[in-house]
Amino acid sequence: MITTTLPSLTIVSPCYNEEPMLPASAPILQNIMTHLIRDHQIAENSKILFVDDGSQDNTWQLICDLQQKDPLFTGLRFSRNYGQEAALMAGMQTAHRHADLVITIDADLQDDPTLIPAMVAQAQRGFDIVYGVRNDRSTDSWFKRTTANGFYWTMGKLGVNLVPNHSDFRLLTKRVITALMQCHESKPFLRGIIPQLGFPSTRLYYKRQPRQAGVSKYPLNKMLRFALDGILSFSIAPIRAVLYAGTVICGTALLMLIWILVQHLRGAVITGWSSIMASLWFLGGFQLIAISIIGEYVGRTFTEVKHRPRYIVQTDTYSATFHVSTPA
Ligand code: UDP
Ligand code: MG
């Protein structure tokens, strides 16, 4: 049969309070998948897997309704909100038992879903990773563009190999996901980890669209946290920076001490309440920054050694579908 030779594709889409968006994005994905199946590009047991990341609105109900109308749709529901990366990991981990190819895409379809057939074609040409890369971010705000550029620049300087302007729209083959599952950090920074895995990869370019409905789930504080997580989980450069700064400060203090000594021997009286206060406050502040940078790493080690689950799945209709539809 054709289905045994064609690759099985699962589209994984994380959803957090996407009630306003799902009714629009689900039919678009459904249409693309239906065409791919009809054109014998992918196997008939290919699926769309929405991962409900503990939404408080009707997202899960919508996913269940979609599945009832078309078994192409399936869902995974978290017990609470764990974050987008956890949702992506859960989707990939669940999907790769049955799927040969997994494509991850945001539920708001800001990333161009019409690229999906081209991604599948690239996989058939032998690429294990196909990165969706934005070549036009004009729909993002000036602030988002500037901070994103700053982030890529910083990561580059830290020696972390990221694909610029790539977020979480990508295709991975089964063997890449198998390798990814061997990375056990509790908060995996996927954009950094995946390029590190190796495997043949290629890029496809597209224009990022504005969000059609609902709101961004990344307010400024969450965005900064995400960027900081990326930096701290990939590099100890901040600790080194503190070491260098501390060395410079100590060197300056030593020079000052020598100067004071010389002035003293010459019989000069050195006054300067303000300079003492300024150095005191400067050193106090610097020490606090240094301690908190080290504290961030200690905190991360603490979180890692606990080995708590990355996420807890409350309901999984994806695996259940496979048990029913796949003959033993
Ligand atoms: N998302 C999620 N959990 C969260 C935050 C976001 O699963 O805690 C999902 C969200 O539903 C969307 C994707 O991650 O499908 C990207 O989020 P969003 O579109 O808000 O980010 P932006 O495009 O504004 O960076
Ligand atoms: Mg978005």
Q: Using one digit for the tens of pLDDT, what is the confidence trace for 214-241?
A: 888 888 888 888 888 888 888 888 888 8
Instruction: Give whole-number Cα distances, 279 to 102, 249, 255, 258, 287, in Å.
Output: 56, 10, 14, 16, 12
How many Cα atoms sit within 13 Å of 74 on the Cβ side? 25
Are the beta carbons of 59 and 17 closer than 8 angstroms? yes
Decide: 216 in ligand 1 pocket, CB within 6 A: yes
Helices (H), strands (E): how many in the chain? 12, 8
How many CB atoms within 10 Å of residue 74?
A: 23
Are the beta carbons of 88 and 172 closer than 8 angstroms? no
- At residue 4, the pLDDT reads 54
Three-class secondary structure of residue 300 per DSSP: helix
Three-class secondary structure of residue 77 per DSSP: strand
Q: What residues flank ion ligand 2 with Cβ within 5 A?
A: 106, 108, 110
The interface predicted TM-score of the complex, written ipTM, equals 0.98
Q: Which residues of 181-270 form beta strands (DSSP E)?
A: 201-207
Decide: 217 in ligand 1 pocket, CB within 6 A: yes
Backbone phi and psi for residue 245, each to the nearest 5 degrees, phi listed first: -60, -40
Backbone phi and psi for residue 75, each to the nearest 5 degrees, phi listed first: -145, 155
The sheet that has 166-173: what strands, in order across it?
201-207, 129-136, 166-173, 101-104, 9-15, 47-52, 73-78, 313-316
Mutual orientation of helices 220-234 and 237-265 as an angle, nearest 10°?
80
- At residue 66, the pLDDT reads 97
How many CB atoms within 10 Å of residue 117?
A: 16
How many CB atoms within 10 Å of residue 150?
A: 11
- At residue 1, the pLDDT reads 44
Are the beta carbons of 74 and 50 closer than 8 angstroms? yes
DSSP 132: E
Best residue among 57, 217, 222, 229 to mutate for probing ligand 1, ranked by most atoms within 8 Å of CB: 217
Instruction: Give pLDDT tens digits along the chain (328 positions).
Output: 444 589 999 999 999 999 999 999 999 999 999 999 999 999 999 999 999 999 999 999 999 999 999 999 999 999 999 999 999 999 999 999 899 999 999 999 999 999 999 999 999 999 999 999 998 777 778 888 888 888 888 888 888 888 988 989 999 999 999 999 999 888 889 999 999 999 999 999 999 888 888 888 888 888 888 888 888 888 888 888 888 998 898 888 888 888 888 988 888 877 777 778 878 888 888 899 999 999 999 999 999 999 899 999 999 999 888 875 544 4
Which protein residue's CA is at the shortest distance from atom 13 of ligand 1?
Answer: 106
Decide: 81 in ligand 1 pocket, CB within 6 A: yes
Three-class secondary structure of residue 66 per DSSP: helix
Both structure tokens of 26: 């689900």
How do residues 41-57 score in pLDDT, each as one tens digit?
999 999 999 999 999 99
Task: Report how far ligand 1's centroid is from the alpha carbon of 227 (Å).
Answer: 15
- At residue 276, the pLDDT reads 84
The contacts found for 277-284 with CB under 8 angstroms, 24 or more apart, are 283/249
Average pLDDT, whole number, for the chain?
A: 90
Amino acid letter at 94?
Answer: T
Q: Which residues of 224-310 form beta strands (DSSP E)?
A: none
- At residue 169, the pLDDT reads 96
- At residue 324, the pLDDT reads 56
- At residue 138, the pLDDT reads 77
Are the beta carbons of 164 and 132 closer than 8 angstroms? no
How many CB atoms within 10 Å of residue 264?
A: 11
How many Cα atoms sit within 13 Å of 175 on the Cβ side? 9
Are the beta carbons of 46 and 33 closer than 8 angstroms? yes
